[in-house]
A and B are shown apart, each in its own frame.
Chain A
Amino acid sequence: MPFVKAQKTKAYFKRYQVKFKRRREGKTDYRARNRLINQDKNKYNTPKYRLVARFTNKDIIAQIIHASISGDIVLAAAYGHELPHYGLEVGLTNYAAAYCVGLLLARRTLKQLEMDAEYEGNVEATGEDYSVEPGESRRPFRSLLDVGLVRTTTGNRVFGVLKGALDGGIDIPHSEKRFAGFNKDNKQLDPEVHRKYIYGGHVASYMRTLMEDEPEKYQSHFSEYIKRGIEADNLEGVYKKVHAAIRANPEAKKSEKPPPKEHKRYNLKKLSYEERKAKLIDRLKALNSAAGVDSDEDDE
């Protein structure tokens, strides 16, 4: 083997400074987090809420969180997999579903804080820019959008969550520049296009083009939609019903499953000193017996 100079010497490891754990995992942008959490010192213990919108491959997670030294505290949360309770069973990660999740989260927090009667928000989703007006007794619930590590392009689904929360009645400072339907040329939001996206219009038009051009692909791609009898034309009606169901009862549903008595272990249990020594002795014994057998064979 040719002589290879060791790249990572002992000195390298001695001097290496690890990044913060969540940065190593690639999950937290500390620069952004710093600016989101920092509260004016002359506001003392007033919490600064952030609306966290995260997307996985099959789910949407929206939470209202405020930070503390012992860890962040979640005030309320809404997930994409809760939408089947409100009548939406397919397409749980698209822009329209993101809007529903944002709306659900907003209504849930307002109900929890007993502000839901005062701050109805925008009942009919028109796609126009809507900001909460201050009510009579209490000031509106204010929070800041936390997108995480996504690239904030126009029409991103995190802004669907934002729009849903705004229409639900939460005060979030925002600009309409990144909503779906914003036109860069004349620098204006086209509310018609935005409304189309909120009601899944982009999905519906894709369904229509597939039905005409490639009916087999339509069957395979939208099989779950077809199974439930959802077609391009009644997609908007489905979403309207979901919005109404969310506004009617935004309470989180408690799971009926009893909590498991013993928690499932996801990583190996750490062995104690005696256990590790015992393991070593067993290994040595096995090695010795194997070596004994080999040396006997060699002798013969």
Chain B
Amino acid sequence: MPAGHGVRSRTRDLFARPFRKKGYIPLSTYLTTYKIGGYVDVKVNGAVHKGMPHKFYHGRTGRVWNVTKRAIGVEVNKQVGNRIIRKRIHVRVEHVQPSRCVEEFKLRKVKNDQLKAEAKAKGEVISTKRQPKGPKPGFMVEGATLETVTPIPYDVVNDLKGGY
């Protein structure tokens, strides 16, 4: 019999619930609100059968473009052949988590605004750009003893002990 390529093929482990986390899903999944334009991670919850995305989208992050009664429309990038298509899928809220990818950016925005306001008050010019880590500074090596290693001259008699 051939292998079969159904929608949920090869998802035995992917969609399985983790160890000792089976059964009822915590209600915070239902209480989180999602706004259009926010980012979400798609993570399939095998306990809920309705509104499951295809296994390709498991682990993808996308933007929210639609919010309905029980589901969310997510726009995810998918590479098809030689191009990347923006695919729009609808997923139930149980299979979606709020993404933390923008969290660092938002915090940095707030901090930068604060730094700029402070600098403006003092009257100095600052750059809030992030700099990449440069090369390490030079340093003197401490506690180094010099040991000169010279090669031993080749001794024919000793080295050919085994046989020749």
A34-B27, A34-B30, A67-B31 are contacts. A41–B22 as well, Cβ < 8 Å?
Answer: no
A13 to chain B, nearest CB (A): 11
Q: Closest Cβ of chain A: how far from B147's Cβ, in Å?
A: 49
A173 to chain B, nearest CB (A): 18
The residue in chain A whose Cβ has the minimal distance to the Cβ of B71 is A41
Check: B76 CB closer than 8 A to any chain A CB.
Answer: no
**A-B residue pairs in contact (CB < 8 Å), sample of 28:** A15-B20, A17-B20, A17-B23, A19-B23, A19-B24, A20-B26, A23-B24, A30-B24, A33-B27, A34-B30, A37-B27, A37-B30, A39-B30, A39-B31, A40-B70, A41-B33, A41-B34, A41-B69, A41-B70, A41-B71, A41-B93, A42-B68, A42-B69, A44-B33, A44-B35, A44-B67, A45-B33, A68-B31
Nearest chain B residue, comparing its CB with the CB of A34: B27
Would you call B72 an interface residue if the criterion is a C-beta within 8 Å of the partner chain's C-beta atoms? yes
CA A20 – CA B26 in complex, angstroms?
9
The listed residue with most A CB atoms (<10 A of its CB), out of B21, B22, B70, B72, is B70
Chain B residues within 8 Å of A40, by CB: 69-70
Q: Specify which chain B residues have a CB less than 8 angstroms from the CB of A34 in the assembled complex.
A: 27, 30
Whether A69 lies near B32 (C-beta < 8 A) is yes
Interface residue count on the A side (C-beta < 8 Å): 20
The docked-state distance in angstroms from the alpha carbon of A44 to that of B31 is 9
User: Contacts of A44 on B, CB cut-off 8 Å?
Assistant: 33, 35, 67
Given contacts A67-B31, A69-B31, A69-B32, is CB(A17)–CB(B21) below 8 Å?
A: yes
A253 to chain B, nearest CB (A): 33
Contacts of B82 in A (CB 8 A): none
Please classify the interface of chain B as helix (H, G, I), strand (E, B), loop, or mixed, using the class held by over half of its residues.
loop
Chain A: which residue is nearest B33 at the CB level?
Answer: A44
Q: Which residues 16-66 in A have Cβ within 8 Å of B in the complex?
A: 16-17, 19-20, 23, 30, 33-34, 37-42, 44-45
**CB-contacts of B13-29 with A (<8 A):** 20-24, 26-28
Contacts of B67 in A (CB 8 A): 41-42, 44
| Chain A 63-79 near chain B by CB (<8 Å), digits 1 or 0 | 00001110000000000
CB distance from B116 to the nearest CB of A (A): 31
Q: Which residues of chain B are within 8 angstroms of A67 by Cβ–Cβ distance?
A: 27, 31
Report whether B27 and A41 are in contact in the complex, using a CB–CB cutoff of 8 Å.
Answer: no
User: Are the CB atoms of B31 and A37 closer together than 8 Å?
Assistant: yes
| Cα-based distance from A39 to B33 in the complex (angstroms) | 9
The interface residues of chain A lying within 8 Å CB-to-CB of B68 are 41-42
Q: Collect the chain B residues with CB atoms within 8 Å of residue A38's CB.
A: 30, 70
State how many angstroms separate the Cβ of B47 from the closest Cβ of chain A: 12
Binary interface encoding of chain B residues 60-72 relative to chain A, with 1 for a CB under 8 A from any of its CBs, else 0: 0000000111111
- Distance between A250 CB and nearest chain B CB, rounded to angstroms: 30
A38 and B29 CA atoms in complex are apart in Å by 10
Nearest opposing residue in chain A for B34, CB measure: A41
Q: Which residues of B contact A42 (CB under 8 A)?
A: 67-69
Inter-chain CA distance A158–B23, complex, in Å, is 30
Starting from the known contacts A17-B21, A17-B22, A38-B70, 20 additional A-B residue pairs (CB-CB under 8 Å) come to A15-B20, A19-B23, A23-B24, A30-B24, A34-B27, A37-B27, A37-B30, A39-B30, A39-B31, A40-B69, A40-B70, A41-B34, A41-B71, A41-B93, A42-B69, A44-B33, A44-B35, A44-B67, A45-B33, A69-B31
**Residue in chain B with minimal CB distance to A68:** B31
A39 / chain B contacts, CB cutoff of 8 Å: 30-31
A residues less than 8 Å from B31 (CB atoms): 37, 39, 67-69
